[in-house]
Chain A
Amino acid sequence: MTQRFPLPREDREFTAVQDVSFDIGGGEFVSIVGPSGCGKSTLLGLIAGLVPISAGHISLDGQPVDGVNARLGFVFQRDALFPWKTVAQNVGLPLLFRGVDAASARPRVADWIARIGLTGFERYHPHQLSGGMRKRVALAMTMVYEPQIVLMDEPFGALDVQTRNLMENDLLEIWAQSRRTVVFVTHDLEEAIALSDRIVVMTASPGRVKAVYTISLPRPRSVTEIRFHPDFGRLYETIWKDLKDEVRVGYERSRQGLAG
């Protein structure tokens, strides 16, 4: 697939991603890594059906993507919580949208609030929570309607390292229980290796697939401990060799104001 955007006030188009093609198996945890501006987020927007595709096609379970798919979840880079709703209302919102009646929604909401460890915070508003807590609410909000595919756009980027590791472990645990397909965008290679089954490395803008790596580290993993696994360093070194040229190209371009 290829995605182009018209550039405002210019007579040419900006190509965000070009000739990108890969398959993701059901229940797989795949990370997409690449330098900033390589079109990682664009890719997720396309898979989610938020943006119409310029050329090529994407299919989910054999069905072409045209518009937002109800079986899909999306965790945004910034936690997109509804500030005027409480924690419980936020988590219950997708159920409300999907016409689940209040009586059967309530236990599901309570269950997820318990799973993210926020029991007792049901009536708080997002601004009263810490960044990590908000992120957990966003995660519960996505998981509560049990989407088969979960797209995550650098979800933990804004968190401090400790909170981040805790959240990554929580995510792995949730994933292990339900085995949903996860497509995880990040620029952090360590995070990608620690979490994923496979890693797609993208080139600098316009983003193409540079390489795909299979991560055969043992599961269940703990993101803090897996880093000491003998294979971890070797994998990191191999993939970083690929990534570092792209990062340099991306950086040079962004300095010249060419990369988006």
Chain B
Amino acid sequence: MLATSGVDKVSRAEVYLWRVVLLGAFLILWEAATRRGWVDPFFVSQPTVLAMQIADWIRTGFIFRHLVVTMQETIIGFLLGTLLGVAVGFLFAHWETLARIFDPLMVALNAMPRVVLAPLFILWFGLGLLSKVVMVVSLVFFVVFFSTYTGIREVDRDLVNNARILGASPRHMIRHVLLPSALTWIFASLRTSVGFALIGAVVGEYLGSHEGMGYVISYAESMFNATGVLAGLLVLMAAVIAIDIGLQRLDARFSYWKPVPK
């Protein structure tokens, strides 16, 4: 959701109404344009055909099989990438020398477009789950690593000093000061890294796989089936929105101690 300043006085209901009206108008225009022959439905499909296609996928259960595969890759890769990112971030923040030695490598690796690496991953790890998980990890790791690293380095010096004065042992320091402080940064990057995770999985599937949402889209494309491509994208979009809402709830749960943003 976009951050709004909240100065305008339009009510929530009105905003929702406008959204529905605009979406409806767009769909009607699309439908009309293809029916009247202004645009060829071969290229842009048609809302009604799309709806029927998705309904069909749901009825036969076809889409769930692929969605589950994609979600599996996303979740496994995301968890591994996050774990690895937090661990390495902690390590680097703790041992300054390590960070100095590996800094150019991290920057270089992060600068490399991972999408281009996907064919290599498929070559190395096969067409199955593993190559996609590696792809996802390679994307998620850096987002989480950099936010953990910054989170620990940017921890309030006064808090660290206060904890030292109050008698914190190194273990206390990690548990009560560094980890909570880093968590806020990690959570701030969570929505970005989840988005990356899904992109990684879908791109991996798109480039070489025999199942998953990326495969569905890639297969439809190879058949010149615009309806299949668009329907696949719509399903993915719905999945992303669902995940995003879940994450917002989670974030709210973990940021109970933060002031409510105005």
List B contacts of A141 (CB < 8 A): 166
Contact with A along B240-262 (1 / 0, CB 8 A): 00000000000000001111000
Question: Are A76 and B169 in contact (CB-based, < 8 A)?
Answer: no
- Decide: B158 and A127 in contact? CB cutoff 8 A: no
Flag if B257 contacts A72 (CB, 8 Å). no
Given known A82-B159, A82-B176, contact A50–B164 (CB-CB < 8 A): yes
Q: For residues 47 through 98 of chain A, which have their beta carbon under 8 Å from a beta carbon of chain B?
A: 48, 50, 68, 70, 72-74, 76, 78, 80, 82-85, 93-94, 96-98
Residue in contact with A93 in the complex, picked from B156, B164, B176, B256, CB distance below 8 Å:
B176
CB within 8 Å: A-B pair count: 53
A82 to B177, CA, bound (A): 8
Indicate if A156 sits at the interface (CB-CB under 8 A).
no
Q: Cβ of A227 < 8 Å from any Cβ of B?
A: no
Give A85 to B159 CA distance when docked, in angstroms. Answer: 12
Judged by a CB distance under 8 angstroms, whether B167 is at the interface is yes
Binary flags per residue of A7-21, CB closer than 8 Å to B gives 1, else 0: 000000000000000
**Docked-complex contact B164 and A82, CB < 8 angstroms:** no
Question: What is the CB-to-nearest-CB distance from B67 to chain A, in angstroms, rounded to a whole number?
Answer: 36
Q: Quick one: which of A68, A76, A85 contacts B158, CB cutoff 8 A?
A: A76
B180→A82 contact, CB < 8 A:
yes
Whether A94 lies near B158 (C-beta < 8 A) is no
Chain A's interface: helix, strand, loop or mixed, by majority? loop
Chain B residues near A179 (CB-CB < 8 A): none
- B48 interface residue (CB < 8 Å to A): no
| CA gap between A127 and B158 in the complex, in Å | 17
Question: Does A125 interact with chain B (Cβ within 8 Å)?
Answer: yes
B212-241, CB under 8 A of A: which get 1 and which 0? Answer: 000000000000000000000000000000
Q: Would you call B69 an interface residue if the criterion is a C-beta within 8 Å of the partner chain's C-beta atoms? A: no
Would you call B166 and A94 a contact (CB within 8 A)?
Answer: yes
Given A93-B176, A125-B257, A127-B257, CB of A80 within 8 Å of CB of B161 = yes
B contact residues, range? 20 to 34
Q: B167, A145: Cβ atoms under 8 Å? A: yes
**Closest residue to B157 on the A side, CB-wise?**
A80
Total residues of chain A contacting the partner, CB 8 A: 24
B169 and A97 contacting across the interface, CB-CB below 8 Å: yes
Contact call A68/B176, Cβ cutoff below 8 A: no
If A80-B156, A82-B177, A84-B180 touch, does A72 touch B165 (CB 8 Å cutoff)?
yes
Known contacts A70-B167, A97-B167, A98-B167; is A83 also within 8 Å of B162 by CB? no
A145–B166 CB distance below 8 A: yes
> Complex Cα distance A126/B259, Å?
9
Contact assessment for A84 and B158 in the assembled complex, using a CB-CB cutoff below 8 Å: no
Residue among B162, B163, B172, B177 with the highest chain A CB neighbour number at 10 A: B162
CB pair B161 A83 closer than 8 Å: no
Asked if A73 and B177 sit within 8 Å, CB to CB, the answer is: no
A125 to B166, CA, bound (A): 19
From residue A185, how far is it (CB to closest CB) to chain B in Å? Answer: 15
Q: Are B259 and A127 in contact (CB under 8 A)?
A: yes
Given the interface pairs A82-B159, A84-B180, A97-B172, the reply to whether A50 lies near B165 with Cβ below 8 Å is: yes
Give Cα distance in the complex from A50 to B172, angstroms: 17
Chain A hits for B168, CB < 8 A: 97
Which of B156, B165, B257, B258 contacts A48 (CB under 8 A)? B165
Across the interface, B165 reaches (CB within 8 A) one of A68, A78, A84, A127, namely: A68
State in angstroms the CA–CA spacing of A83 and B177 once bound together: 10
Q: Report the nearest A residue to B184, measured CB to CB.
A: A84
Contact B257 A83 (CB under 8 A): yes
Contacts known (A76-B158, A97-B172); A83 close to B258, Cβ less than 8 A: yes
Query: How far, in angstroms, from A84 to B29 measured CA to CA in the complex?
Result: 51
- With a cutoff of 8 Å between Cβ atoms, the chain A residues found around residue B161 in the complex are 50, 74, 76, 80
B156 to A, closest residue via Cβ: A80
User: Once bound together, how far apart are the Cα atoms of A97 and B166, in whole Å?
Assistant: 7
In the complex the two chains form, is B159's CB within 8 Å of A80's CB?
yes
Which B residues are within 8 Å of any A CB, using their own CB? 156, 158-159, 161-169, 172, 176-177, 180, 256-259
Question: 23 A–B contact pairs at CB < 8 A?
Answer: A50-B165, A68-B164, A68-B165, A70-B167, A73-B165, A76-B161, A76-B162, A78-B158, A80-B158, A80-B161, A82-B159, A82-B180, A84-B180, A85-B176, A85-B257, A93-B163, A93-B166, A94-B166, A94-B167, A96-B172, A97-B167, A98-B167, A125-B256
Q: Which residues of A contact B (CB under 8 A)?
A: 48, 50, 68, 70, 72-74, 76, 78, 80, 82-85, 93-94, 96-98, 125-127, 141, 145
Known: A76-B162, A80-B162. 5 other contacts (CB 8 A): A80-B161, A85-B176, A85-B257, A98-B167, A145-B167
